[in-house]
Structure 1
Amino acid sequence: MAKFYPELTEELQDFIQQQHLFFTATAPHQGRINLSPKGIDTFRILDAHTVAYLDVTGSGNETSAHLIENGRMTIMFCSFTEKPWILRLYGTGQVVRPRDAHWPRLMEHFPTVPGTRQIIQLTIESVQTSCGMGVPLYEYQGERQSLIHWAEKKGTEGLHQYWTEKNQRTIDGLPTYLLDPEPTDK
């Protein structure tokens, strides 16, 4: 049965820290819903009401644009071991980029990961647990290094060029403001 919480309890925080994979979901007012798997030790619990993750370079930048437009976000953790549990964090997301004033303070929580382009921070409005009895059992074998090697090979200039070509607009045409500041008259 589903159970709601107003914040992350110690038990829920322990569960999150045991997971190697999480999923993020965002959607614009009009357009495609974005659902993405994440890993590479990029997730951090900042307090019982706030979490954040390093957003590394990917083929798109949907989450950023959706959060700029409306802030709605869900993060889901799912156990693939004996304890059949699904945990969802509902809240308002914010994009934090290297040019933002609180970037240095947030980056203190994360390791250096090649290809990092921004941090996504979620202010939690509610937390839900539900059973995951239909989720299959899987065994964790380790992190893939492909994305890290790709980013290292690209280098700083190559990543900037990739962001310019591939991460400035979503597949629905929304601006991400990855490289340019958001207009103040939105």
Structure 2
Amino acid sequence: MAKQFQKIEPHLHRFIAAQRMFFTASAAAEGRVNVSPRGTDMFRVLDDTSVLYLDRTGSSNETAAHLKANGRMTIMFCAVDGPPLILRLYGRGRVIHRDSAEFAERLAILFDNEAPLGSRQMVHLDIDLVQSSCGYGVPLFSYEGERTQMDAWAKSKGSDGIDAYWREKNQTSMDGLPTGLFEDEDTETITAAS
């Protein structure tokens, strides 16, 4: 029932565009495997073999830590309405830091230069395998709308509060791996100390 492709074929592009949610899976060589759900409003297909999403603040930053450790990542979509299908994008991911020129360029081109408050970084995936499967076991659900809590939380924290939250909660994974969230600062500190 599974089919493999070397790229995102046109019918799979259409499937991705119709989805409201996706999941990221990542793991370092040791420690816990992380799976996170995300809304597709911040997801972009760049071409047939690469995708990107704007990553908003979370309670941890596991994906970034795992990508820094080894780069392995899978993105999965599954149809919860309409015809059944599961689609997995396998490959190597990397984080695009929010203070980088690449982040600014991609924000301008892909997101009309608008990042929601609390946008932490971007995650880019270079795909080496695309696999679809039947999805017969995925239950049917109806889409009701987007949640408003993320925006409300970010607004209540403000920029300074979000920065403090990142420093407290998002610099290491639950297994103690560095996420690189403040990588530029870490480099400057090391250089100044030398």
Same fold (TM over 0.5): yes
* Structure 2 counterpart of 1:172: 175
For the residues of structure 2 that align with 1:91 and 1:175, how far apart are their CA atoms? 21
* Structure 1 counterpart of 2:152: 149
Amino acid at match of 1:119: M
How many residues of Structure 1 are paired with residues of Structure 2 in the alignment?
Answer: 183
- Give the structure-1-normalised TM-score: 0.95
Which structure 2 segments of 5+ residues have no match? Answer: 188-194
Matched, 1:104 2:107: no
Deviation at 1:40, TM superposition (A): 5.7
For the residues of structure 1 that align with 2:48 and 2:154, how far apart are their CA atoms? 32
Amino acid at match of 2:59: S
Q: Percent identity?
A: 50
The structure with the greater share of residues assigned to helix is 2
Amino acid at match of 2:179: T
Runs of 4+ in 1 over 2 A off after TM superposition: 180-183
For the residues of structure 2 that align with 1:167 and 1:11, how far apart are their CA atoms? 37
C-alpha offsets along residues 130-162 of structure 1, whole Å, 9 cap, x if unaligned?
001111100000010101110111111000000
Q: Give the 3-state SS of the residue equivalent to 1:41 in structure 2.
A: helix
* Structure 1 counterpart of 2:52: 52
C-alpha offsets along residues 6-48 of structure 1, whole Å, 9 cap, x if unaligned?
0011110110010000000000111000000001611000111
For the residues of structure 2 that align with 1:82 and 1:41, how far apart are their CA atoms? 19
Amino acid at match of 1:157: D
Which structure 1 segments of 5+ residues have no match? Answer: none
Structure having the higher Rg: 2
8 Å contact from structure 1 (residues 40, 143) kept in 2: no
Matched, 1:130 2:133: yes
Q: Give the 3-state SS of the residue equivalent to 2:129 in structure 1.
A: strand
* Structure 1 counterpart of 2:190: none
